[in-house]
Amino acid sequence: MSDHDITLTVNGRTVSRRVPARLTLIDFLRGELGLTGTHAGCEHGVCGACTILVDGVAQRSCLQFAVQADGHEIETVEGVSPRDGSLNEVQQALHDGHGLQCGFCSPGIVMTLESLRRAGGDGEAMRAAMSGHLCRCTGYQGIARAIARLAGETTDEVPAHG
């Protein structure tokens, strides 16, 4: 099994490590860098919990190897959250719309929506992209509400109990 020296940018920080070829990017982020905000769910590309940004584009971190990220720019949920502990625009919309309960799927959803928000994606594109995220708590209604707010489709107040 080959080992490789890699240098990549993670949340704006340059990181250099030696990794075995078979180490997935999700295990690298969580195990090597301690960035446990990215969640490992199904680990075969179905659930979407591990979604991160690679060069600004939403991708599964369980469907690529750390060695393949050499030279690339990675962003995780830790990187898009304000350092003062407040919420970014996507996180605030999910909070306001009751778009989460247990929170396991949320980091992935935040990253997908963050990538689309930056790219100027509309509500339809955001809703379509939710097919790539399994949420077992919300029934997606709260997420759909959050997207409607994020995309500027509505400014309605959300009822207190979702």
Partner 1 sequence: MKPPPFDYVMAETLGEALDLLASLRDEVQPIAGGQSLTPMLSLRVARPGVVLDLQKLGELRGIAPVAGGGLRIGAMTRQVEVLESPLVAEHLPALADAMRLVGHFQTRNRGTLGGSIALGEPAAENPAFALALDAELELRSAGGTRTVPASAFYTGPYMTERADDELLVAITYRPPAHARIGIEEVMQRKGDFALSGLVACIGTDGRGVIDDPRLAWFGMDTRPVRAAAAEAAMRGRQLAELDLAELAELALTDTSPIEDSHGTPEYRLAAGRAIFARLFNRLLA
Tell me which residues touch partner 1 (CB under 8 A): 1-2, 4, 20-22, 24, 27, 43-45, 48, 51, 54, 57-60, 62-65, 67-68, 70, 112, 125, 128-129, 131-132
Nearer to partner 1, 66 or 93 (CB): 66
Nearer to partner 1, 44 or 83 (CB): 44
CA 26 to chain CA mean position, Å: 11
**Sheet containing strand 51-54, strands side by side:** 13-20, 3-10, 73-75, 51-54, 57-60
Q: State in angstroms the smallest separation of the CB of 128 from partner 1.
A: 7
Q: State in angstroms the smallest separation of the CB of 107 from partner 1.
A: 13
Nearer to partner 1, 136 or 162 (CB): 136
Nearer to partner 1, 125 or 156 (CB): 125
Q: State in angstroms the smallest separation of the CB of 91 from partner 1.
A: 19
Report the distance separating Cα 34 and Cα 125, nearest Å: 32
